């Protein structure tokens, strides 16, 4: 990049970075909310423990370490399973999105679980159960 204009370099790379970032946000929210709901509905059972373990790993493992690990596993060990570079095909987004989503997905999972457990313990839920409404109806 020696002798290149910084703005030109950023302009060239920004669209791909924005695409990966946008897909990562959608993935983080979707999977994070889903795991949080599963963890809250199965509180203190094995699905809750698995979801919270994944959330803890997502918070503790930095994205650059996760990215390196994913490249090693899916490109080096399982030769050619996922491409290490490029964004020409949808499968090229899998590793960068997972690597970038870890911490935000973990945060969303923990937050969703916590707030949903609070709601499930609230008075109006207890009243609805006392009136005989099923869990699906509530």
| The three-state (H, E, C) secondary structure of 89-118, written as one string | CHHHHHHHHHHHHHHHHHHHHHHHHHHHHH
Residue 117 within a domain: yes
Residue 10 within a domain: yes
Residue 38 within a domain: yes
Q: How far apart are CA 68 and CA 125, in angstroms?
A: 45
**pLDDT tens track, the chain, 138 positions:** 688 888 988 998 899 999 999 999 999 999 999 999 999 999 999 999 999 999 999 999 999 999 999 999 988 888 878 888 888 888 889 999 999 999 999 999 999 999 999 999 999 988 988 998 888 887
- Domain range enclosing 98: 6-130
Please report the pLDDT score of residue 52 as a whole number. 96
Please report the pLDDT score of residue 9 as a whole number. 87
Total of domains in the chain = 1
Please report the pLDDT score of residue 44 as a whole number. 93
Please report the pLDDT score of residue 72 as a whole number. 93
Residue 125 within a domain: yes
Residue 1 within a domain: no
pTM for the model: 0.84
Residue 105 within a domain: yes
């Amino acid at each position: 990049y020696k002798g290149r204009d910084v703005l030109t370099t950023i302009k060239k790379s920004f669209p791909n970075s924005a695409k990966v970032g946008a897909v990562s946000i959608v993935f983080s929210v979707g999977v994070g909310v889903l795991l949080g709901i599963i963890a809250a509905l199965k509180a203190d059972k094995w699905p809750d423990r698995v979801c919270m373990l994944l959330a803890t790993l997502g918070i503790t493992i930095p994205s650059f370490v996760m990215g390196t690990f994913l490249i090693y596993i899916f490109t080096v060990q399982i030769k050619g399973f996922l491409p290490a570079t490029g964004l020409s095909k949808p499968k090229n987004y899998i590793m960068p999105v997972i690597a970038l989503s870890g911490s935000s997905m973990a945060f969303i999972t923990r937050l969703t679980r916590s707030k949903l457990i609070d709601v499930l313990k609230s008075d109006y839920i207890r009243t609805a159960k006392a009136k005989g409404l099923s869990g699906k109806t509530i």
